[in-house]
Structure 1
Amino acid sequence: MQTETADALRRIYEKGSVSFSGVKDMRADIARLQIGGSLSITELLDIAKLLETAARVKSWEDKPSEKKPEPAVVEDGAAHWTKNRQMAAEEAGAGAGRRESGEEADQPEKDSLTELFCDLEPVPSLVREIRRCILSEDEIADDASVNLRRIRRQISLSEERIHSQLQQMVNGPARAFLQDAVITQRDGRYCLPVRSEYRSQVPGMIHDQSASGQTIFVEPMAVVKLNNDIRTLEAEEKKEIEKILQELSEKAAEQSDALISDIQILSELDFIFARAVLAKKMNATQPDFNEQGIVDIRRARHPLIDRRRVVPVDIRLGEDFDQLVISGPNTGGKTVSLKTIGLLEIMGLSGLHIPAKEHSRLSMFTEIYADIGDEQSIEQSLSTFSSHMTNIVSFWEAADEKSLVLFDELGAGTDPEEGAALAISILAHLHSRGIRTVATTHYSEVKIYALSTDGVENACCEFDVATLRPTYRLLIGVPGKSNAFAISKRLGLPDEIIEDAKGRIADEQESFESVISDLESRRVSMEKAESAMTKDQAEIRRLRRSLEEQEKKLAESKDKILEKARQQAADLLRDTKQYADETIRAFNKMSGNAISARDMERRRTALRGKMDKMESSRKKEKEKTPHKAVDARKLQVGDSVKVLSLNLKGIVRSLPDKSGNIDVQMGILHSVVNVKDIELLDEVSIKGPSYEHTATGKVRISKSVSVSPEINLLGMTVDEAVSVLDKYLDDAAIAHLDEVRVVHGKGTGALRAGVQNFLRKNKHVQSYRLGEYGEGDTGVTIVKLK
């Protein structure tokens, strides 16, 4: 059933919804057909609707899938379906490759519903015959048979003759005897309304009279025979219609097996697709089943609570422990968590997808027993405690290791000490029988039992003491504190009563509750530390990727510089060889001709000039700016320097150590270099994001050297953010940053849309994308600069 639901859900996503309206349970009518009975007009129309529904459903199955864009953000059930669809697309692509290679074309992939759709038999010939003969529930078509057409034509002719004769009487001498000049009907026979005092003046049969007795309705003798003829023809028409219905019934009887099959298949498909529609509505997923009694439901949502308000919970049972004791404050969600386990198990075993994260696990329990709620009854003399015990006794012997047992407030309604002892005894006995059990409690003794017993685990519904409100989160592994005093204070109970109650608690009980409270505070602190650690790890990964990319770019830059140097050396060698060849040719030419020494000297001087010019150009290309030695004692943090080996500008971030090494920040690159490898620039020290003057009086934007690879736009309007972002991108481009991170938050999405709209048009932007997991998700945009 789970597979059927999943296959139906896939079809709904791919092809849209399908309607099963028009299906009625007609098995009794079809059984009457099989023994030779005849169906009425309405029943035959129901058969036509049934077959038309079968044809519509079969046609829906045969239509190609609608190509819809994938959702931008999906979760749970939709994400699971999207993943399956992508896998199917990959398989389809592989199949196309096989077809291109000459293999036989693949057949459409079959699933659990394919056979049901294939077995539908619309019987179009029977539908056409029924629709041809029957126009509506009150009308048979004239063309249903030749004889019916003839009879109705004769009836029509007879009615015309009657109207003609009666019209002559109305317009003739009988007009003076009539109450009204109209022709009417009584008991299906045409009559005239005659005044009672003139009844002898119009001979004929009297069929009725008015309530006042002033008017009688007379069928004139002239039309009695024609009216009798119509009655005879109407009887023939009725027999002919019965004959037509009998013939249609016989044709339907020939297809009785197909009709019964269609009813069964359509009813089954209707049920399957109803489960799929519910799964889509709840954004539910298909669970994984096991027979080891393991329940592992992740991000489970109670199906009857609004999705916008429900707090998802994680529930485990049967793997490391077979009993779960849930404690915590009233109104904290203990009973909701308990019911969520039972409801999702029943839903899963009924073939329904469950509102939880994909690959949640359910067990194949044969029975689920629950003692939830207060069934006290004055009429049956049942108190709260006795009603609970009566319910427990009813399934005590029937429960086994294939059962799931749920207790709400086990042992409540009686003396606390006796109730706690009884609750522990019940749980211990079920534990010894290997029965999976979940119970809620307020008893400290039961919490201690769960702490001290192997295979039994505590859980609690979290309570925020700061706000005095529950969070509805289920935390497995720690017992919960009842927080009765905090809740009572929030509800308005006077402080003096609460303080007096605190003084009446036994020291042992107060100590235990304090331990629980301390455990809870430590757990919250650990969760916060873990969350901070996760963020730090994500930032470290991001920085590592950034450094790796920077190192890669530096290596590429180095290769380009070396290649350029090799090219220049080759050009120099080529030019030198060319000049040498020209010189040799000139001297050879001069030796054969009588050329004056003055001409030879002029040519030699020109050649020497060219060589000197080329040598000067080569030296300028090769030589670097004179390296001014830096005095390490005068170096200060914030000084603007140039790293000679990397040919990059940067800012000093630390004073030299004993070896003369300093930290230099070069854009997003952070490196340790020696003072011998740096040169002080004529810019003033860079202290922060501002415009500064150099020693030569020129204005430099020192901010561009130290621009951060990230900008935070949180809390700004779209106009403010665009203005700040525009300036920031200019600085980032000047600093030669390749990639920056724009933090705009999630919120309503308006700021993100405004930022991305601006990025789309900015001249510095090569591309941009939303952040991935660990980068800030949809709360940030990663921008790649040109």
Structure 2
Amino acid sequence: MNERILNTLEFDAVKQLVAQYLVTEPGKEELSQLTPTSQATTVAQWLAETEDGLKVQRLRGGIPIPKIENIRPQMKRIEIGADLNGVELAQVTRVLTTTNELTRFLDDLEDAEIEFQRLYEWRDKLVTLPELTRQLKTAIDEDGRVTDDASPELKAIRHSIRRSKQTVREQLDSIIRGGNAKYLSDTIVTMRNDRYVIPVKQEYRGVFGGVVHDQSASGQTLFIEPKQIVEANNRLRSQQIAERREIERILAELSAALVPYRRDILQNAFVIGRLDFINGKACFGQELKAIVPTISEENHVVFKQARHPLIDQEKVVANDIMIGKDYQAVVITGPNTGGKTITLKTLGLLQLMGQAGLPIPVEEESVMGIFEEVFADIGDEQSIEQSLSTFSSHMTNIVAILKKVDEHSLVLFDELGAGTDPQEGAALAIAILDELGAKSAYVMATTHYPELKVYGYNRTNTINASMEFDVDTLSPTYRLLIGVPGRSNAFEISKRLGLDTSVIDAAKAIMDGESQDLNEMIADLENRRKMTETEYLELRHHVEEAEKLHRDLQNAYTYFFEEREKEIAKAKRKANEMVEEAKADAETIISDLRKLQLAGGQTKVKEHKLIDAKSRLEDLHQEEHLQKNKVLKKAKEAKKLKAGDEVLVTSYGQRGTLVQKMGHDQWQVQLGILKMTLPEADLQSVAPAKEPVQRVVSTVRSNTASHVATQLDLRGKRYEEALNEVDQYLDAAILAGYPQVTIVHGKGTGALRQGITEYLKGHRSVKSYEFAPANQGGNGATIVKFK
């Protein structure tokens, strides 16, 4: 897109609105480089990502992304062999931990069978480095400080430093207490040049001996290191130097460990930035009540109830804006201050936003096109430097547009032909519109010239439009009326303001008949439009009632069908039970008959008759069909038992082993030293028992991994119930090994929030807690980090 149109339609102002929802530097960099594109495939991918982001926003409240700094300079430095400091390593660590958290978050969404168009593709581009992440998290805390656990040597050195400091302070405290206080300016222990000293009055400088490190501005106080602690201070200083060297060694070692994974880390930072950008677009869309439009291959634009994104959404008037399908040119006429220019800018800006992959403030089922270029001539562009008049400036711009425009262009003209003689200006405007029509360009133009009202009726693929004006209130309504040209309201306004009727009649007589006829035609069209609108509203009411009735009937039919299937299934089960009983009796009879035959009795029964009788009994069995449902199929498979399986006897709550089947739906089960015959419905297949220790560990991990979410929602809960639930939830989250969780308590009166804060203060496993970022709930949610 040309830079001129982005400035004219204030595309950068929209980007600034999106920027407030971004939390990472890579995401902000992604936004800064965003410009509309005419590549259909790219636009479709961007919009698909935005739709995914809006879906996550609805289902999970957004993608959880912390603040991430730009780490490219750090990666460049380690590439050339430099070492990173603690803060820089902490920034890299945050990228790696965020990578792990986002991977888990998106995996959970996939496990929940939530479908996305592009989100899982970005997830697959993340590279988790668990060993490197663990090493960095162990050695560097979030503030960039090297921890005691970074190495055994550092831990020992710091332990020695703490003991030495305590020794020095104890010695100094003994010196400043008692009779020595009179020699001191103040009975405190302070530091100068990284050594512990005491403030001694100038006249008593020889009392303590030792080394003078500093003096006060007045010279009355000297900061002296007494000779008794010089050796202890020297020892402490040596330990501090050893600490600094060990820290430098650790930082160098960690920096070297990053080098092989430099590209993976940069890739992760880029993907995190992309996900942050997707989440930011979704937050922007949710705030603006925007949607992702459908793309029209034919460049048909249908923006339903379109709103300008830079106007207060409580005050802006929504309009249906359409171009491309039934007409390629729209001519908006009418007086100033009616909203023509804003309508023009709304069309252009929303089209640019759509081609940049941003959600647009329109209603559902809106459609956008993809234009290779969007041109505009809007506003007074008079140039003093170039000595051009307003008309000359506009014509210079229009000439440049006509040279570049084609059938894939959208052109916006504000006050076309203005700034010169009305007759010549109208003729020029008509000629320019004809030229654009010959090139099949899409055009929306505003004008004052009445000649263009007739043009809108006579030209194919062209339609008139106007901004509605309420004569009763003498003010514009800012509603766009497609198909109705604007008309002058001067006579009606003058009459309402009290101008004498004779003066108004004289003015009408002066007007030529053609202009009067045109105004009367426009007035008649407006009356007809209002009648049609009333009829449409009545018809829409009836359609909505019919749709509601249809939905109710459909729901009733679905309920009836489901209940019928349940009853049929119940009847079949009952019939099968009866058939099974009959088959058992029949088997007994057939067995007796066969025994008689084999024994050479008097009754002769042919074998094929016996087989035929048994076949007829088998045909009485009714099949019970399970619904096409994965859960039901799995349950049916799980119920297939065989000898040797371990089962749970639900009526006794005991585990046992299947020995043999004792008939239809009956099994012999070994329960300890007992053998019992039990119905199959009382048996539930279970996995074989493991060793006790392994079983405990496995169960804990399974339960925590499967059932503990990273977020607890307490909204609507009573105070005592909520605190009890928090207590149980934190124990489960700690057991699951989560580094942090989110507690959503809402804002409300603040009582629940205060209660949770007090509870977290005293919890021994809580490292820190803070309110969530503004884009994740603000003070309506608290993020808790564990030790």
Shorter-chain-normalised TM-score: which range? 0.5 to 0.7
- Between the aligned partners of 1:112 and 1:24, the Cα distance in structure 2 is 25
Deviations 1:192-226 (A, max 9, x none): 33332333444332222223323323323343333
1:10 maps to what in 2? 55
Q: CA deviation at 1:419?
A: 1.2
Distance of 2:105 and 2:229 partners within structure 1:
58
Q: 2:234 is matched by which residue type in structure 1?
A: N
The corresponding residue for 2:66 is 21
For the Cα contact (< 8 Å) 1:404–1:436, is it kept in 2?
Answer: yes
Per the alignment, in what secondary structure is the counterpart of residue 214 of structure 2?
A: strand
> Which among 265, 284, 289 is matched to residue 290 of structure 2?
284
Task: Specify the alignment match of 2:727 in structure 1.
Answer: none
Query: What code does the residue aligned with 1:459 have?
Result: A
Q: Report the residue type matching 2:224 in the other structure.
A: V
Superimposed CA distance per residue, residues 620-676 of structure 1 (whole angstroms, 9 cap, x where no aligned partner): xxxxxxxxxxxxxxxxxxxxxxxxxxxxxxxxxxxxxxxxxxxxxxxxxxxxxxxxx
Q: CA deviation at 1:465?
A: 4.0
Query: Does the residue aligned with 1:480 lie in a helix, a strand or coil?
Result: coil
**Who is 2:75 aligned against?**
30
Provide the C-alpha distance between the structure 2 equivalents of 1:410 and 1:159, rounded to a whole number of angstroms: 82
* Matched letter for residue 115 of structure 1: E
Q: How many residues align?
A: 505
Structure 1 counterpart of 2:766: none
Corresponding residue of 2:242: 236
Aligned residue for 2:88? Answer: 43
Q: Does the CA-based 8 Å contact 1:205-1:220 persist in structure 2?
A: yes
Q: Does 1:321 align with 2:306?
A: no
User: Could you tell me how far apart the structure 2 residues matched to 1:14 and 1:542 are?
Assistant: 27
Could you state the TM-score of these two structures normalised by the residue count of structure 1?
0.58
Residue identity matched to 2:196: Y
1:257 corresponds to: 263
Between the aligned partners of 2:284 and 2:141, the Cα distance in structure 1 is 38
Deviations 1:369-428 (A, max 9, x none): 111222335555444323322332343312222110001111112221121111111111
Q: TM-score, normalization: structure 2?
A: 0.58
- Higher relative contact order (CA closer than 8 Å, sequence separation 6+): 2
Instruction: Say whether residues 1:331 and 2:337 are aligned partners.
Output: yes
Q: How far 1:477 moved relative to its partner?
A: 2.6
Distance across 2 between alignment mates of 1:4 and 1:244? 41
Mean Cα displacement is larger for which, 327-336 or 8-17?
327-336
- What SS does the corresponding residue of 1:63 show, helix, strand or coil? helix
Q: Would the aligned equivalents of 2:405 and 2:439 in 1 still touch at CA under 8 Å?
A: no
Unaligned runs of 5+ in 1: 67-91, 93-106, 545-786
Among 426, 429, 439, the alignment partner of 2:435 is: 429
Q: Which moved more, 1:123-132 or 1:318-327?
A: 123-132
**Alpha carbons of structure 1 residues 160 and 538: separation in structure 2 relative to 1, 3 Å:** closer
Partner of 1:188: 194
Tell me what 2:126 maps to.
120
Distance 2:345 2:194 in 1: 68
Give the Cα–Cα distance (whole angstroms) in 2 for the partners of residues 334 and 360 of structure 1.
Answer: 21
CA contact (8 A) 1:293 1:436 kept: no
- Letter of the aligned partner of 2:137 in structure 1? R
Asked whether the 8 Å contact 2:323–2:442 carries over to 1, the reply is yes
Cα separation, 1, equivalents of 2:204 and 2:535: 111
Alpha-carbon shift at residue 325 of structure 1 (Å): 0.8
- Equivalent residues in 2 for 1:530-541 (5 A)? none
Please, which of 267, 272, 279 is the counterpart of residue 273 of structure 1? 279
Structure 1 CA distance, aligned partners of 2:343 and 2:48?
A: 27
1:355 is the counterpart of 2:361: yes
Look up the match of 2:104.
59
Deviation at 1:26, TM superposition (A): 0.8
Quickly say closer, same or farther: Cα 1:401–1:492, change in 2 above 3 A.
farther
- Matches of residues 723-742 of structure 1 in structure 2 within 5 Å? none
Matched, 1:225 2:270: no
For residues 73-103 of structure 1, give each alpha carbon's deviation from its aligned partner in whole angstroms, at most 9, with x where no partner exists: xxxxxxxxxxxxxxxxxxx9xxxxxxxxxxx
Q: 1:390 aligned to 2:396?
A: yes
| Conserved? CA contact 2:88–2:144, under 8 Å | no
Q: Which residue of 2 aligns with 1:446?
A: 452
Give the direction of change, closer, same or farther, for the CA distance of 1:528–1:171 in structure 2 (3 Å limit).
closer
Residues 143-182 of structure 1 deviation map (CA, whole Å, 9 limit, x = unaligned): 3222222323333444344445545544588666444444
**1:513 aligned residue:** 519
Inter-CA distance 534–13: structure 2 relative to 1 (3 Å threshold)? closer
* Partners of 1:286 and 1:359 within 8 A in 2: no
Letter in 1 for 2:97: E
Cα distance between partner residues in 1 of 2:145 and 2:210: 33
SS, match of residue 417 in structure 2: coil
Closer, same or farther: CA 120–497 of 1 in aligned 2, 3 Å: farther
| Superposed CA offset, 1:54-73 (max 9, x none) | 2333333233599xxxxxxx
What amino acid sits opposite 1:297 in the alignment?
Answer: F
Letter paired with 1:506: D
Alignment of 1:107-256 (within 5 A): 109=115, 111-135=117-141, 137=143, 139-167=145-173, 169-170=175-176, 177-256=183-262
Q: Tell me by how many angstroms 1:242 deviates.
A: 0.8
Residues of 2 paired with 1:231 and 1:427: CA distance?
Answer: 85
Q: Deviations over 1:331-352 (max 9, x none)?
A: 3332232222112211211112
CA–CA distance in structure 1, aligned partners of residues 539 and 174 of structure 2: 107
**1:403-552 pair list within 5 angstroms:** 403-487=409-493, 502-529=508-535
SS in 2 for 1:191: strand
Give the conservation status (yes or no) of the 8 Å contact 1:442–1:482: no
| 1:701-780 matched pairs, under 5 angstroms | none
Sort the Cα spacing of 1:4 and 1:193 in 2 relative to 1 into closer, same or farther, 3 A. closer
Q: Which amino acid aligns with 2:411?
A: V
Deviations 1:659-695 (A, max 9, x none): xxxxxxxxxxxxxxxxxxxxxxxxxxxxxxxxxxxxx
> In 2, distance between residues paired with 1:540 and 1:365?
39
* Contact 1:329–1:463 (Cα < 8 Å) also in 2: no
Higher-Rg structure is 1
Deviation at 1:356, TM superposition (A): 2.7
User: CA RMSD for the aligned pairs?
Assistant: 3.4
Distance 1:135 1:344, change over 3 A: closer
Unaligned runs of 5+ in 2: 1-45, 551-787
Cα distance in 1 for partners of 2:73, 2:549 equals 75
Partner residue, 1:721: none
Kept in 2, the 8 Å contact 1:2–1:351? The answer is yes
Q: Aligned partners of 1:139 and 1:329: how far apart in 2? A: 67
Alignment check: 8 A CA contact 1:204 1:221 kept: yes
Q: Alpha-carbon deviation of 1:260?
A: 0.8
Aligned in 2, Cα 1:237/1:432: closer, same or farther, shift over 3 Å? same
